[in-house]
Amino acid sequence: MTGSEVSPSFRLAYVPGVTPAKWVRIWNERLPDVPLTLVPVPAAEAADALRDEGADAALLRLPVDRTVFSAIPLYTETTVVVVPKDHLATAVDEVAVEDLADDVVFHPLDDVLGWDQLPGRPALERPATTADAIELVAAGVGVLVVPQSLARLHHRKDLTYRPLVDAPQSSVALSWPEDATTDLVEDFIGIVRGRTVNSTRGRTVAPAQQERKQPDAVRARRKPTAGNPSGKKTKRTGGGSGGSGSSGGSGGSRGGKRGRPRHR
C-alpha cells in the first residue's frame, strides 16, 4: 500500500472509553464522499486490528510496538477509583493510593493501567472484564481503579468515583501501520492535530467544494462601492485626467506670478 492509493472508505478502530465523535464530524464535513466506518475493538485487540488490516487507523491506548506502528499521543487520562456512594472515599475530593490499603481492589483481565504494584488487597479471582468488576463494586465487594473515561462509560447511579493520585495513567493515541501511511490516514492526522482544511500538510479542498466557494469570492471582489454601484471595473477617462490637469494649471498660474519682474 502506498501513500497515493485512495480507499473507498476509511476504517477507524477505537477502544472503550475513547469518543471519536468530534473528529468523525469534522471528517464528514471535509470528506463527504469518503465514508468513515467506526470499528469498536477491545483495548487488547486494537493492535491486532491494525496488523490484520481490519482498520486503517486506531484510537488506542499506549504503549504500542513502535517498530511496527506509528503513533501520535493525543491525551493522558485522569485515573480514578470507582466506589459505592456510601464509601468513605466520597468524603474527600481525591484519594491517595495508600488510602486503599484496606480495600479489595479488583484487577480485571482487560485492565489498561500498567501497575508495578497493585494497591489494596487482591481479590480471590480476577474479573474477566471491567464491566464484570463494576458489578462487583456495586455489590459492595471491593473497588476498581480505571481511567476516568471508563468510569463514565460504566456509570451507575449507585456508584461514583474520585481521582486517585500517584497512580499509573493511561494515554490515548492515534496509531496506524508504519508502512501504510495513506492519503486518508494523513487526512485524519490533520483532523486530530487541528489543521485547517487549507493546511499545506492536509488534503486540499475538493474541486466541487472549490466551485461552491468560488462565486462567493467573486462576488466579494465585485462588491459595489459608493462611487461604483455596479461593482464593475472602470477605466480612467480624459475627464479624470482633466481634474488633475486643472490642478496643474493652477500650479502654473502660481508659477507665473513668481516670474513677474519687480519694479524698483
Query: pLDDT tens-digit profile of 207-226?
Result: 444 444 445 554 555 555 55
CATH match for 10-76+171-212 among 3.40.50.300, 3.40.50.720, 3.30.360.10, 3.40.190.10: 3.40.190.10
- pLDDT, averaged across the chain: 83
**CA–CA dist 74, 76 (Å, integer):** 7
Provide the pLDDT for residue 45.
96
Query: Is the pLDDT reported for residue 126 higher than 90?
Result: yes
Query: Is the pLDDT reported for residue 260 higher than 80?
Result: no
User: Residue 72: pLDDT band by 50, 70, 90 thresholds?
Assistant: very high
Residue ranges of domains in the chain: 10-76+171-212, 79-165
C-alpha dihedral over 217, 218, 221, 226, to 10 degrees? -120
Q: What confidence tens digit (pLDDT) does each residue in 10-69 have?
A: 999 999 999 999 999 999 999 999 999 999 999 999 999 999 999 999 999 999 999 999
Beta strand 69-76 with 171-177 is: antiparallel
What value does the mean pLDDT take over residues 82-89? 96
Q: What confidence tens digit (pLDDT) does each residue in 145-191 have?
A: 999 999 999 999 999 999 999 999 999 999 999 999 999 999 999 99
**CA–CA dist 76, 246 (Å, integer):** 74
- The CATH number of 79-165 is 3.40.190.10
Backbone angles phi, psi at 250, to 5 degrees: -60, -40
Q: Among 63-77, 91-105, 222-236, which is the least confidently predicted range? A: 222-236
Provide the pLDDT for residue 226.
55
Provide the pLDDT for residue 228.
57
User: Residue 249: pLDDT band by 50, 70, 90 thresholds?
Assistant: very low
Cell of 218: 467573486
Provide the pLDDT for residue 159.
98
User: Residue 197: pLDDT band by 50, 70, 90 thresholds?
Assistant: confident
Q: Are 10-76+171-212 and 79-165 in the same CATH fold?
A: yes
Q: At what angle do helices 183-192 and 21-30 cross, to 10 degrees?
A: 120
Tell which wins on pLDDT, 234 or 97.
97
pTM: 0.72
**CA–CA dist 148, 173 (Å, integer):** 16
